[in-house]
Structures are given as C-alpha cells and as structure tokens.
C-alpha cells in the first residue's frame, strides 16, 4: 500500500518570468528582471525571459499536457507588473484575463492551482520609485497587489503562497549582487528582508480579513547544512550557516519572531533590522497556514578563516564554481564522498527526509508542501527521444525520501517537482533543463514529452507506489 495519503497532491511547478514570455504583451509593465537580463554580462550567454517558452500564448496546449500527465495541482506565479504595470494603481485587465483564463483552463481539467504571488519579478516602477524592497512603502504596495489577486482569483483558487525563496532574491540581490538590484550591501539587504516578512504578514492578514476560502503559506529554500567534521569549530560554523540560511528565513513566518542570537549579532554589526512600532505584533499575529519547501541539495559546512565570496557555476561545467564563504563565520565545502550534478549541486535524497524532520522539530508538525525539487541537466536526445533517466532516478529517490518523512509522521500534503516544462533558469539559460516536457528552441518552441513524462504519469496514477 502507498505511504502517501489518499488526498496527497501530485503536481509540478513553474514561475512566471521563466515560462511566460510576452514581456511587453498587452500592457504588461517592465519588471526588474526585464531590465537586469538585458544588461550585458548578467546571465548565461545573455539569455532572458522576453519570449521564454511562450507559455503566455500557449497555455492551453501546456495545460492539456499537464492533464495528460495526470497532474492534480499546478504551482505557478503571477507576474506583478503584468497585472499592475506601475506596481500600484491602474490595473491591466488584459493581464488579469490571462491568469483568469489559465485558472479556468486548469479547473476545467481538474487541476488545482497553487498561486505564488512573488517569484522575484518586481515591477521596475517600484524599484525606481522607492528602491523596491529597501523601502517600507513596499509593504503597502505588496498588500494592495495581494488583495487584488485575492479579489480576482480567490473565488477559484484555494492554495496560495506569498513569497518564493527570500534567501535567493534578497541574498543575491543585496549580498552577492548576482540578481537585481545587484547590490553588495548587507545593511540594506537585512532591512529589505525585514520588509519581505512584514509584507508577508500583511498579505496573510488581508487573506484572512477578506475571508478567502483556502490556505496561505510561504515558500523557502530548504537546504539542510551538515558539518564537514565533528570538530567544535566546524559544528559551530554549521550552526551559524543553518541559522542564517534557515532559521532567519523560517522563524519570522512560522514563529513570528527572529532567532534571538542572530538578531543580536545583526543588530550589533549593522544596526538592522530596524523595527517600527507595530512590526512585532504584525509578525506574531500572522503566522502562515503552511510551509512550502524547495529542496534541491544539502550543503556541507566548515570553519572559515580565509574564504570570502564565491563564484557560481552557470555553465554546467563541473567544478567551475567556487563555494561561498563568509570570513570568520563559515564556508560551504564540497563533500568528498558526494555525488554532484554538472552545476555542482550535491544529490542527496536523505537530506529531504532530514530537512522535513528538522522543520517538524523546530516548528511542530505544520502542513508542508514540497513546492520544488528536481534535477537540472542537459538531457540527451537519442533516436528522437529525450532520455532523461537521471531525472527519473533523482525524482524517484526524493519521492521515497518524502515517503520516509510521512512514515515518521510528518504532515506532507503535496509534491511539486521543478519543473513541469523546460524553462529559463535565471542565471543558467535554457540548457539547464528540469522539465517533463522538452521545448525545442530550434523548432518554434515545439513541445515534446520526455521519458520522465510517462514515468511521472505512472507515479501519479499509482499515488506514489509505482516508482
């Protein structure tokens, strides 16, 4: 018998900028990514989401493929500037119509939508008006945007999440500079991150005030950290890394407060986050209904006296990246016994069971969705077929890892592999493929089912028994 509950949801995920295209279509405003990706040297070989995989124009064909795959749920994001071109004020009805039609098409095929409100594409107008996430004004703006979405789509959508992976858009936007607005300014970054938590709390509050029939959650990267050795220094370094990358991001939305030790460290070093009257209560009173975990890899951590900065492997040439280090705190190091992808991500399914267990231990048995999980690879085409056996192996092992967590009592309710279809990887172009559906960029973006498509179809049909 399957270990997955009868009502377990099997789906897949995407995000607006990575699939839609139509970057100037029908009154859409510019996003921060529309600008950033057009700047020389920012992305792999200058790739951008101007056309992406043209989901904006082909969503019906795509939903038909989702239905054929047997998907019971689909996680996608709304492009804020598509429906509010200036970020606030004037609504673009054509943008609303696109999402409304997408939702109807999904429901027609019995696919339950899960909406992400923010998957990194900020209206550029708000970046220019007040510096985007750096300003408290963003909290009101985000709340207005969220309310608009609830009002227009809340009659048909009952699974929502506010944000996707704060650690990435704040970390890379304000600490490493690899994402817009390309700053290396921890003080601004920590305060911007605080505004994200406030915006989340306000949007959760509005969701409840408007009486939307459904659940609202928050999606985070889940990257468990393990020390490279048993030495007290490595274990302490690991504790700090786990504190920054996990507790800092999860505590405010699941406990309504920051981890105390790190908060004191940040305020001492940088004087932030600055709280305004009412912030603490807002966070405390608006805990999310569920947590979404995006799991790809774990990280090994070591004590660090020398390494500062990092280099990302964006080419898929094994070993071309250099792991992240914060001098005096910790560094991420390679596991000598680990198995790695071509982009140097460790493949470690056990980490997913561990990660879910760590969440339960710290926050209790909260409803959990695995909102992303997948293998980025250059899939070979053999005799006309996209043979992605490594993806099948990766997903199978991770589904088993979720099954193990469920057997241990965790309340995991759904699984959304990343991604439904091959799409734009923000910094890695189109060659880092994740989908069940291949997109032929040399042939008018024609869709083709991969080997993994038939496999996942059977997994869903058997509720996770036929792996």
Catalytic (active-site) positions = 372
Q: Smallest gap, in angstroms, from Cβ of residue 82 to ligand BG6? A: 17
Which CB atom, from 31 or from 425, has the smaller least distance to ligand BG6? 425
| Cα separations in angstroms, 366 against 26, 248, 287 | 41, 18, 11
Is the alpha carbon torsion for 221, 172, 35, 38 positive or negative? negative
Q: Smallest gap, in angstroms, from Cβ of residue 265 to ligand BG6? A: 26
Among residue numbers 6 through 45, which ones bind ligand BG6 (CB under 6 A)?
Answer: 15, 18
| β-sheet bridge partners, residue 372 | 294
**Cβ proximity of 174 and 192 under 8 Å:** yes
Q: Smallest gap, in angstroms, from Cβ of residue 157 to ligand BG6? A: 19
**Cβ proximity of 14 and 75 under 8 Å:** yes
| β-sheet bridge partners, residue 54 | none
For the chain, what is the radius of gyration of the CA atoms?
21
Site string for ligand BG6, 360-399 (x = CB under 6 A): ------------x---x-----------------------
Which CB atom, from 282 or from 423, has the smaller least distance to ligand BG6? 423
Among residue numbers 273 through 302, which ones bind ligand BG6 (CB under 6 A)?
Answer: 294
**Cβ proximity of 452 and 460 under 8 Å:** no
Task: Let me know if 310 is exposed, middle or buried by CB neighbors in 10 A (0-12, 13-18, 19+).
Answer: middle
The answer to whether 223 contacts ligand BG6 (rule: CB under 6 A) is no
Q: Which listed residue (191, 246, 373, 425) binds ligand BG6 by CB under 6 A? A: 425
Q: 111 phi and psi, to 5 degrees?
A: -105, 125
How far apart, in Å, do the first and last CA atoms of the chain sit?
A: 13
The span of 182-190, 358-366, 397-405, 425-433 binding ligand BG6 (CB under 6 A) equals 425-433
d(CA 205, CA 431): 40
| β-sheet bridge partners, residue 447 | 439
Q: Which listed residue (42, 124, 127, 164) binds ligand BG6 by CB under 6 A? A: 164
The span of 42-50, 160-168, 244-252, 299-307 binding ligand BG6 (CB under 6 A) equals 160-168
Which CB atom, from 118 or from 330, has the smaller least distance to ligand BG6? 118
Which CB atom, from 109 or from 334, has the smaller least distance to ligand BG6? 334
Q: Which listed residue (76, 160, 348, 426) binds ligand BG6 by CB under 6 A? A: 426
The answer to whether 418 contacts ligand BG6 (rule: CB under 6 A) is yes
The span of 22-30, 181-189, 389-397, 422-430 binding ligand BG6 (CB under 6 A) equals 422-430
Sheet of strand 309-311: strand arrangement: 225-227, 299-302, 330-333, 322-326, 309-311
Which CB atom, from 14 or from 206, has the smaller least distance to ligand BG6? 14
d(CA 203, CA 161): 10
Residues that bind ligand BG6 (CB under 6 A): 15, 18, 164-165, 168, 294, 372, 376, 418, 425-426, 428, 432
């Amino acid at each position: 018998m399957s270990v997955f509950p009868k009502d377990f949801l099997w789906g897949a995920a995407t995000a607006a900028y990575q699939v839609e295209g139509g970057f100037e279509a029908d009154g859409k405003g510019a996003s921060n990514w529309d600008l950033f990706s057009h700047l020389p040297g920012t992305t792999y070989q200058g790739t951008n989401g101007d056309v992406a995989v043209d989901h904006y124009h082909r969503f019906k064909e795509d939903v038909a493929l989702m239905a054929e795959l047997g998907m019971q749920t689909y996680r996608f994001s709304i492009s804020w500037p598509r429906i509010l071109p200036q970020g606030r004020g004037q609504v673009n009805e054509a943008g609303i119509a696109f999402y409304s039609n997408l939702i109807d098409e999904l429901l027609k095929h019995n696919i339950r939508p899960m909406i992400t409100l923010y998957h990194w594409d900020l209206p550029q107008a708000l970046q220019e008006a007040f510096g985007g996430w750096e300003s408290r004004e963003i909290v009101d703006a985000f709340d207005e945007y969220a309310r608009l979405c609830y009002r227009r789509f809340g009659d048909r959508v009952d699974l929502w999440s506010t944000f996707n992976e704060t650690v990435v858009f704040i970390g890379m936007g304000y600490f490493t500079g690899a994402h817009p607005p390309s700053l290396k300014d921890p003080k601004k970054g920590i305060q911007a991150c605080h505004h994200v938590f406030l915006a989340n709390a306000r949007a959760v509050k509005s969701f409840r005030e408007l009486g939307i029939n459904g659940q609202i959650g928050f999606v985070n990267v889940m990257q468990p950290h393990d020390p490279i050795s048993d030495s007290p220094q490595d274990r302490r370094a690991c504790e700090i890394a786990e504190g920054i990358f996990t507790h800092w991001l999860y505590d405010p939305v699941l406990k309504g407060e920051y981890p105390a030790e790190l908060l004191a460290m940040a305020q001492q070093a940088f004087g932030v986050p600055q709280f305004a009257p009412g912030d603490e209560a807002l966070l405390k009173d608006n805990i999310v209904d569920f947590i979404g975990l995006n799991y790809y890899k774990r990280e090994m951590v070591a004590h660090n006296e020398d390494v500062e900065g990092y280099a990302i492997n964006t080419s898929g040439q094994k070993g071309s990246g250099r792991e992240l280090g914060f001098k005096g705190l910790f560094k991420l190091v390679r596991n000598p016994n680990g198995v790695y992808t071509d982009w140097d991500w460790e493949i470690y399914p056990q980490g997913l069971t561990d990660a879910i267990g760590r969440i339960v231990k710290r926050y209790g048995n909260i409803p959990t969705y695995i909102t992303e999980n997948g293998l980025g690879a250059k899939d070979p085409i053999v005799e006309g077929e996209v043979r992605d056996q490594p993806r099948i192996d990766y997903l199978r092992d991770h589904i088993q890892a979720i099954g193990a967590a469920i057997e241990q009592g965790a309340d995991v309710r759904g699984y959304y592999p990343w991604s439904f279809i091959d799409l734009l990887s923000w910094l890695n172009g189109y060659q880092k493929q994740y989908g069940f559906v291949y997109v032929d960029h040399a042939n008018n973006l024609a869709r083709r089912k991969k080997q993994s498509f038939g496999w996942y179809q059977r997994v869903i049909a058997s509720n996770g028994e036929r792996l």
